[in-house]
Amino acid sequence: MVLGAVVIALALAALMVTASRSREGALSHRQGMRLVLWAGGIVPSVVLLALLIATLPAMRPIRAARDDLRVTVTGEQFWWRMAYRRAGAAVVTSANELRLPVGRDVVLALEGGDVLHSFWVPGLAGKMDMVPGRTNTLVVHATRAGRFRGQCAEFCGLSHALMAFDVVAMEPAAFDAWLAAERRPVTTAASTGARLFDAYGCGGCHAVRGTGAAGAIGPDLTHLGARATMAAGIQPLTTANLVRFIRDAPAVKPGARMPAYPQMSAPDATAIARWLETNR
Ligand SMILES: [Cu+2]
């Protein structure tokens, strides 16, 4: 493209020099009009039409098949709710990370849980609004494995800029293994962290399948340990980051819909964080 632009610019410059050097009347009015007709009308029309025809097939939307994986992605202040649906299987709920099998069409049903959000993964597809009360469908097709960053692209409140997420495109076999693991409840319901999680009432907002916690206001934390980032893609998932977030979420994310726990001791927060991390 740069080469083409340089050639055109040089040609125009040469034309300008010739025009300014030639004597007056070298081109008759008629010849001038003909030049305008060809260079300004016919040639551009033909070139643009050819380009349009050549690129039209690439603009055809991907048609979803009935048995494609469907993921409902719901924008919430300031995180992402994910629900994986496969024909004939129970829904798998997760959050803040979207995993996709490479080489397969995946239907994303985009919804708004509270206010307007916008789903935007530049490495995967164009942006699309998430509107409360309606479902926008986007069919995506990852062509190579890897990690892509997504970001909310519609101002949605104080922590709008801190509403990101990771897209992980995986080989189909690895994806199936991950989805099967994600489907399983946790087996650590008897640990100290689980007991404290329950005692602090975290289960009123968060679900951890395999324990009594079944809240649906905040992200599903069942397999939090399997994610690379936390708090909607803004930090790497580490014990220290978890402890800080659990004790004072609004300090990390202004306006976060999770209360601070100033009365929570550091050892309690650490025990909860360690427990959440072990659930992979
Ligand atoms: Cu948002």
Regarding whether 176 and 80 lie in a shared domain, the answer is yes
193/53 Cα distance (integer angstroms):
61
113 C-alpha vs ligand 1 centroid, how far in Å? 10
Regarding whether 219 and 113 lie in a shared domain, the answer is no
In a domain, 4, yes or no: no
Q: Which residues pair with 211 in a beta bridge?
A: 209
237 C-alpha vs ligand 1 centroid, how far in Å? 21
62 C-alpha vs ligand 1 centroid, how far in Å? 26
Task: Average the pLDDT over 40-48 and give the result.
Answer: 96
pLDDT of residue 61: 75
162 C-alpha vs ligand 1 centroid, how far in Å? 9
Whether the pLDDT of residue 67 is over 90: the answer is: no
Whether the pLDDT of residue 209 is over 80: the answer is: yes
250/252 Cα distance (integer angstroms):
5
Confidence of residue 251 (pLDDT cuts 50, 70, 90): very high
Regarding whether 150 and 78 lie in a shared domain, the answer is yes
Regarding whether 245 and 171 lie in a shared domain, the answer is no
* Sign for the pseudo-dihedral over CA of 33, 36, 39, 44: negative
Domain boundary among 9, 39, 60: 60
pLDDT of residue 116: 97
> Mind listing the pLDDT tens digit for each residue in 138-156?
999 999 999 999 999 999 9
Task: Average the pLDDT over 168-192 and give the result.
Answer: 95
For residues 183-206, one letter each, b for 16 or more C-beta atoms within 10 angstroms of the residue's C-beta and e for the rest, the string is beebebbebebbebbeebebbebb
pLDDT of residue 63: 78
In a domain, 149, yes or no: yes
Regarding whether 224 and 197 lie in a shared domain, the answer is yes
Instruction: Decide if 202 contacts 213 (C-beta within 8 A).
Output: yes
Regarding whether 133 and 107 lie in a shared domain, the answer is yes
76 C-alpha vs ligand 1 centroid, how far in Å? 7
270 C-alpha vs ligand 1 centroid, how far in Å? 29
78 C-alpha vs ligand 1 centroid, how far in Å? 6
* Sign for the pseudo-dihedral over CA of 180, 183, 189, 194: positive
Whether the pLDDT of residue 247 is over 80: the answer is: yes
pLDDT of residue 22: 86
Q: How many domains does the chain have?
A: 3
Confidence of residue 95 (pLDDT cuts 50, 70, 90): very high
Regarding whether 178 and 106 lie in a shared domain, the answer is yes
Q: What is the pTM of this model?
A: 0.83
Regarding whether 217 and 155 lie in a shared domain, the answer is no
In a domain, 127, yes or no: yes
DSSP annotation of 212 reads S
Regarding whether 179 and 98 lie in a shared domain, the answer is yes
In a domain, 75, yes or no: yes
262 C-alpha vs ligand 1 centroid, how far in Å? 27
pLDDT of residue 132: 97
Whether the pLDDT of residue 266 is over 80: the answer is: yes
Boundaries of domain holding 214: 192-278
pLDDT of residue 68: 82
In a domain, 135, yes or no: yes
CA nearest to 237, candidates 158, 176, 146, 166: 166
Question: Quick one: what percent of the chain has pLDDT higher than 70?
Answer: 100
Q: The CATH number of the domain where 224 resides is what?
A: 2.60.40.420
Domain boundary among 13, 43, 60: 60
Question: Quick one: what percent of the chain has pLDDT higher than 90?
Answer: 88
Task: Average the pLDDT over 99-107 and give the result.
Answer: 94
In a domain, 161, yes or no: yes
13 C-alpha vs ligand 1 centroid, how far in Å? 48
Least confident of 28-37, 55-64, 226-235, 254-263: 55-64
Task: Average the pLDDT over 16-28 and give the result.
Answer: 87
Confidence of residue 62 (pLDDT cuts 50, 70, 90): confident
119 C-alpha vs ligand 1 centroid, how far in Å? 8
In a domain, 18, yes or no: no
120 C-alpha vs ligand 1 centroid, how far in Å? 10
Task: Average the pLDDT over 257-272 and give the result.
Answer: 96
Confidence of residue 1 (pLDDT cuts 50, 70, 90): very high
Confidence of residue 241 (pLDDT cuts 50, 70, 90): very high
159 C-alpha vs ligand 1 centroid, how far in Å? 8
DSSP annotation of 61 reads P
Regarding whether 152 and 80 lie in a shared domain, the answer is yes
Domain boundary among 116, 148, 183: 183
- Mean pLDDT across the chain: 94
Tell me whether residue 110 is exposed, middle or buried, using C-beta atoms within 10 angstroms of its C-beta: 0 to 12, 13 to 18, 19 or more: buried
184 C-alpha vs ligand 1 centroid, how far in Å? 29
Rounded to 5 degrees, φ, ψ at 237 are -80, 105
In a domain, 138, yes or no: yes
183 C-alpha vs ligand 1 centroid, how far in Å? 27
Regarding whether 242 and 139 lie in a shared domain, the answer is no
206 C-alpha vs ligand 1 centroid, how far in Å? 19
Task: Average the pLDDT over 207-213 and give the result.
Answer: 95
- Please name the residue ranges forming H helices in 224-265: 239-247, 249-252
Whether the pLDDT of residue 200 is over 80: the answer is: yes
Regarding whether 236 and 208 lie in a shared domain, the answer is yes
